[in-house]
Structure 1
Amino acid sequence: MLRIKKLGVILRPTRLAFESKCVFNPGIYQDGNTVHMIYRALDDNYVSTLGYARFEGPTKLVERFSKPLYTPKFKYESHGMEDPCIVKIDDTIYMTYVAHDGVNALIAYMYGDDILNLKRGGIISPLISYHKAAKLFDETQLKDDYYMFGAYYEKYGDKNIYVWEKDGVLFPEMINKRYALLHRILPDVQLIKFDDFKQLKNTKYWEEHIRHLADHVVLEGDFNFQNRHIGAGAPPIKTKDGWILINHAVQKKNSGRIYRATAALLDLNNPQKVIARLPYPLFSPEEDYELEGHVNNVVFPTGISIFNNQAYIYYGTSDSYVAVTSVDIDELREELLKNKV
């Protein structure tokens, strides 16, 4: 049985206006013993900005900015910047995040060599309406849920709403000389590979991807605790046996949704290939701070640091706080290998 150690809440809201409501879903960039955290901060108007905190070791807070590090500048992010995810590939830091304009939720990115001064790269999601996407879905073999989510967002959002794209997670190195991005067109996790970020700004590139979307699905919600949808999570961890992906899974009940953490093992050279999956949650909402908050029953992993072969998993709890859970990487890898697909 895996030994999971919950270390508790390490970041809470403050009286500062930009983070008075909630702080959660952080991106993590580790530089030696230093852990840089860029977290989602919510104000009383429900607009998200990105705050900054610095830790020595996995949990010792040594610095926290009194103002947001990054705030909305463009229309595509005017209603919030959410859920950052950070990797370093070669000499460049990349941070993907969800950009919200009040109607659409899309993946955007920033890049640079200084975590405190990243440049905006813009939207890297398909600017394709659900109406148009449904026609592309018809050309591939997809389950009804894809159409149902499209109808849901058209009904409660806008008839011209773009395909909602969240959970954009880059692999932390090039794979076969190409970038690899996990993304999530509901309800599954897909993978898109590309040579240059400019390709992700090309609608034709995305149309071709969606036209064959079934071929790009990495993970489906195969277990009951994943029966609504799944999403990517934290950047994958490279091991000798494959990439460990720690991600979230959502179960739907009449009483509400439950967000849990789970894990999968992906092939090193072809992460489209799933080697193994945990058939049960890695961890679930159990503590008070996970069960009750702005949104109840949520653990949402988004970042990882590694110390002494321990993966410290940073996650949002009940859309209210940032907490940490740790697990031994070798133990997790071995447990995954017991559950090959």
Structure 2
Amino acid sequence: MLESKLEVKKEGIILQKSGLGFEVEGVLNPGVIHYGDFIHIFYRAVGKGNYSTIGYCKMKTPFEVAERFDIPVIFPQFEYEVHGVEDPRIVKIDDLFYISYCAYDGVNALGALATSTDLIHWEKKGIIVPQIGYDEFARLAQIKGKINEKYLRYNEHEKIKEKKGKKVLVWDKNVVFFPRKIHGKFHFLHRIKPDIQIVAVKDLEELTPEFWQNYFLHLKEYIVLSPKHKHEVSYIGGGCPPIETSVGWLIIYHGVYDTVKGYVYCACAALLDINNPQKLISRLPYALFKPDHEWELTGEVNNVCFPTGAIVIEDTLYIYYGAADEQIACATVKLSELLNELISNTTHHDK
């Protein structure tokens, strides 16, 4: 497995669980946005029984907490999220803030959306990804020919069709919006294992069952990234919201590989075309960073670096990530050096 050529600095833990009931088991996988005078962090907070809500704190510097709420800002309110709201990502598009998150009902984990004008009051828009059983998904996706056999392995759910009185659906997680419209359309990444797919729509109201049926008929066209290198060979998924740069959209995503001790989650990087983000420009042939500190190697889930939020200050990229599914840490890298390294790995062919 190749080692990183970049100087990535692990800055350590910046947020830990508290004694408060809603986050007594862990804090992890934060959405991060730099707005006004503060860096705003929306993080997954885990209470007893693995019930998740979204907590909030604001930072006056990348590592220094100014204020932290003692109650969650987003919590389960509907049946589709009754067991938890997880792994928020945040962007600002025009005059609205968008938080995409994973809604878990105890059986299915699906991408959902909430919006806000003030970062405090959030209006839920519901599930925005397909609600589709595996059999229908497989039938539609394979009309034009066979798909990667991992789609079957990861999404068939041992052929269980119903659980706890609910229909078992294909899990569609890691919904990550681009921070602006491209050619007048919302764009977001999402993940049905093992690949990262992309959606582009003028209006989110277009995301109907009919839309998704047609989408799956052409699934191969919407796959942006597939597992390729050893550090991501099992599956990949969206991480931080894309960062607009002069050479393309910088994507920090997570890659997963299997070992005798279980899965290892690491941070990866790629570039997508600025005008057509379905087109991959380049990707690092090695992990940007992976678990190697105690707080990443041991925790609620061992061997996890799970990047979900990033900001740029001058030439420094700050990547916030869940460490071992229990704490929130930050890593930094020079943005210019990362982009230069990506450009040197440009590819025009494979995904």
The TM-score by the shorter chain falls in which range? over 0.9
Secondary structure of 1:102's partner?
A: coil
Paired letter, 1:263: A
Pairing 1:266-285 to 2, within 5 Å after superposition: 266-285=272-291
1:194 partnered with 2:198: no
Deviation per CA, 1:284-336: give whole Å up to 9, x if none. 00000000000000000000122122111000000000000011111110000
Instruction: Provide the rounded CA distance (Å) in 1 between the counterparts of 2:337 and 2:161.
Output: 43
Instruction: Provide the rounded CA distance (Å) in 1 between the counterparts of 2:268 and 2:313.
Output: 21
Length, aligned pairs only? 340
Contact 1:48 1:81 in 2 (8 A): yes
Which of 287, 304, 307 is the matching residue for 1:298?
Answer: 304
Paired letter, 2:154: F
1:127 shift after superposition = 1.1
1:154 shift after superposition = 3.8
Contact 1:129 1:161 in 2 (8 A): yes
Which of 141, 149, 153 is the matching residue for 1:148?
Answer: 153
| Match in the other structure for 2:25 | 21
1:156 shift after superposition = 9.7
TM-score (ref. length: structure 1): 0.97
1:44 shift after superposition = 1.3
| Match in the other structure for 1:264 | 270
Deviation per CA, 1:252-274: give whole Å up to 9, x if none. 12320000000000000001111
Pairing 1:300-339 to 2, within 5 Å after superposition: 300-339=306-345
| Match in the other structure for 1:85 | 89
Secondary structure of 1:164's partner?
A: coil
Pairing 1:140-289 to 2, within 5 Å after superposition: 140-141=144-145, 142-152=147-157, 154-155=159-160, 158=163, 160-200=167-207, 202-289=208-295
Contact 1:21 1:320 in 2 (8 A): yes
1:103 partnered with 2:107: yes
| Match in the other structure for 1:44 | 48
Secondary structure of 1:294's partner?
A: coil
Instruction: Provide the rounded CA distance (Å) in 2 between the counterparts of 1:19 and 1:297.
Output: 21
Which of 7, 11, 23 is the matching residue for 1:3?
Answer: 7
Instruction: Provide the rounded CA distance (Å) in 2 between the counterparts of 1:238 and 1:302.
Output: 16
- The structure-2 alpha-carbon separation of the partners of 1:155 and 1:253, relative to structure 1 and needing over 3 Å to count, comes to farther
Gaps of 5+ in 1: none
Secondary structure of 1:340's partner?
A: coil
1:59 shift after superposition = 1.1
Secondary structure of 1:279's partner?
A: coil
Contact 2:156 2:170 in 1 (8 A): no
TM-score (ref. length: structure 2): 0.94
Instruction: Provide the rounded CA distance (Å) in 1 between the counterparts of 2:23 and 2:308.
Output: 19
Contact 1:243 1:267 in 2 (8 A): yes
Instruction: Provide the rounded CA distance (Å) in 2 between the counterparts of 1:266 and 1:248.
Output: 16
1:26 shift after superposition = 0.4
Secondary structure of 2:156's partner?
A: helix
Instruction: Provide the rounded CA distance (Å) in 2 between the counterparts of 1:152 and 1:75.
Output: 21
Instruction: Provide the rounded CA distance (Å) in 2 between the counterparts of 1:46 and 1:232.
Output: 22
| Match in the other structure for 1:135 | 139
Percent identity reads 41
1:30 shift after superposition = 1.1
1:157 shift after superposition = 7.3
1:72 partnered with 2:62: no
Instruction: Provide the rounded CA distance (Å) in 2 between the counterparts of 1:100 and 1:163.
Output: 13
Contact 1:39 1:83 in 2 (8 A): yes
Contact 1:94 1:110 in 2 (8 A): yes
Gaps of 5+ in 2: none
Secondary structure of 2:274's partner?
A: coil
Contact 1:173 1:179 in 2 (8 A): yes
Contact 2:161 2:168 in 1 (8 A): no
1:155 shift after superposition = 4.2
Contact 2:99 2:114 in 1 (8 A): yes
| Match in the other structure for 2:130 | 126
Contact 1:181 1:192 in 2 (8 A): yes
- The structure-2 alpha-carbon separation of the partners of 1:338 and 1:267, relative to structure 1 and needing over 3 Å to count, comes to same
